[in-house]
Amino acid sequence: MLLECVHSRKDVQCSVHHVRPNNTHTGVSPSAPQPAPVDCSRNYSQDLTYSDAASKKDAGINAYCLRALSLWGDVSQYLHGIRSGKKEDPWVPESAFHKVMADLFEFEARLDPRYFFRNVSFCDRSLAELERDREFWTPWLLMQFLSHAALAVLNHPLIHLMGFKTNIRPRLFLQHTVEQALYHTGWVVRLISSCQALGFVVHDPFIGQILVSMATIIWFFQFARDESVSKTAVENMNVLESHLSQLSMTWPHLLCALEQLRELQVIAENKKNDNPNDRAQVIFQPLKIWRILDPTIMCQIQSGSPMSVADQDDSQSSSDMIRVATTFVHPVVEDQDEPGQDFALETPSYNYPQEHQPGELSLEEFLGDFFDPSPSWNLL
């Protein structure tokens, strides 16, 4: 079964065609009840939205999971559009980016607070409890992975390196994309690490595809000169690769994606071995990442169908040098001793762009405060 939280063919159609699930149609199993609360040793800040009134609107975990799947479909469609050459200014209210983000925010606003990570005490439960209530935890985990992965992918560095319609790039918007990418990839790694620590085996190949997509984002952060960021990125890549290796033994299609990811890692390792102190210039082929992010490309390759013009022109159109000047800051902090400080962001300080050379595509304003002053990306 591809998605363990999907119980009928009509449910799959709801998710694929981006329709809100209708709990009144036949053939849909009711959502499993939420397990009883347990004593939690963690100290979280109070959630002001958690009220009895809000809880009465609960649609059930299956409904929320299906909606998250629908939104992931919207994100995938947006990525395919960018890959097909539909460039835009994503900060504009009329943009497709803005619309998908608004839908994700709406989903978060309507999600019953009882399903929040802090309110289910997932990490405080025994493996026996988790296995007993797997019917609930499977869709809950998938919803959590999808919610964070969707926001991470929408803020993927590759998209914002290649997908702009104009050369106008607001620094605050670009800074925000990096903050979001770091934050939500950090959450995905935390979720899968929690499952591994608890011994709760995740079988879902869909989550495997999410993990490999997150790895393409984390891959960029390995080249940061900030040692704390690059070190964390390397560690997170190892966590994802370890779990993907296990999943690929059951789901062969993930082995293909894992091999592509390892090809990217060779670039990172060679760069580190050549000059560990110089991460200024990285040369890679965007198609290697697009093959992971946009499955339609791999389907065309496997079926022998003609590649798109964008794919055919990769070696010609993506050789611009991109220079970025920022310093990465990692927002995910595990220290929960102080209420309200579960995750913290350092306050960034602005780095002003330097002059760029003719013929270069300057993105020094890209990720305004998260790259170092001199790194550049050469896209082949």
pLDDT of residue 316: 40
Give the domain extent around 267: 9-24+59-281
The answer to whether 366 touches 323, Cβ cutoff 8 Å, is no
Percentage of the residues of the chain whose pLDDT score is greater than 70: 62
The one-letter code for the residue type at 163 is: G
H-state helical runs in the chain? 9-16, 52-55, 61-83, 96-110, 117-120, 127-132, 134-154, 157-162, 171-198, 205-221, 227-248, 252-274, 286-293, 295-303, 309-312, 314-317
Range with the lowest mean pLDDT among 141-145, 243-247, 255-259, 352-356? 352-356
pLDDT at site 279 = 56
pLDDT band, very low/low/confident/very high, at 366 (cuts 50, 70, 90): very low
CA distances to 181, 195, 254 from 258, rounded to whole Å, are 21, 20, 6
Q: What is the mean pLDDT of residues 49-64?
A: 68
Highest mean pLDDT among 35-44, 115-124, 143-152, 299-308: 143-152
Check pLDDT > 60 for residue 249: yes
**Residue 186 scores a pLDDT above 60:** yes
Distance CA 109, CA 258 (A): 35
Picking from 291, 301, 292, 179, the residue whose alpha carbon sits closest to that of residue 244 is 292
Residue bearing the bigger pLDDT, 89 or 340? 89
Neighbours of 151 (CB within 10 A): 22
Give the mean model confidence (pLDDT) for residues 274-289.
Answer: 71
In this predicted structure, the answer to whether residue 295 has a pLDDT above a threshold of 60 is yes
Q: Is residue 304 part of a domain?
A: no
In a domain, 36, yes or no: no
Q: Tell me the CB-side half-sphere exposure of residue 70, using CA atoms within 13 A.
A: 19
Provide the pLDDT for residue 281: 67
Residue 357 placed within a domain: no
Q: What is the pLDDT of residue 23?
A: 47
pLDDT at 225: 75
Q: Compute and round to an integer the Cα radius of gyration of the chain.
A: 21
Domain contains 333: no
**In this structure, what is the dihedral angle of CA atoms 58, 17, 79, 92, given to the nearest 10 degrees?**
-70
Task: Answer whether residue 299 shows pLDDT above 90.
Answer: no
Name the more confident of 268 and 376.
268
In whole angstroms, give the CA distance from residue 248 to residue 237: 16
Given a cut of 60, whether residue 212 has pLDDT beyond it is: yes
Tell whether 108 is covered by a domain: yes
Q: Is pLDDT above 70 for 256?
A: yes
For residue 168, tell me if it sits in a domain: yes
Residue 74: which of 57, 96, 52 has the closest Cα?
96
Q: Is a pLDDT exceeding 90 seen at residue 297?
A: no
Which pLDDT value is given to residue 169?
A: 77
Mean per-residue pLDDT for 168-195? Answer: 91
Number of domains in the chain: 1
Residue holding tokens 């602005």? Answer: 350
Is residue 220, in this structure, part of any structural domain at all? yes
Q: What digits encode the pLDDT tens for the residues 91-111?
A: 999 999 999 999 999 999 999
Q: What is the distance between the alpha carbons of residues 310 and 105, in angstroms, rounded to a whole number?
A: 31
| 264 vs 23: which has the higher pLDDT | 264
**Tell me, what's the pLDDT at 130?**
95
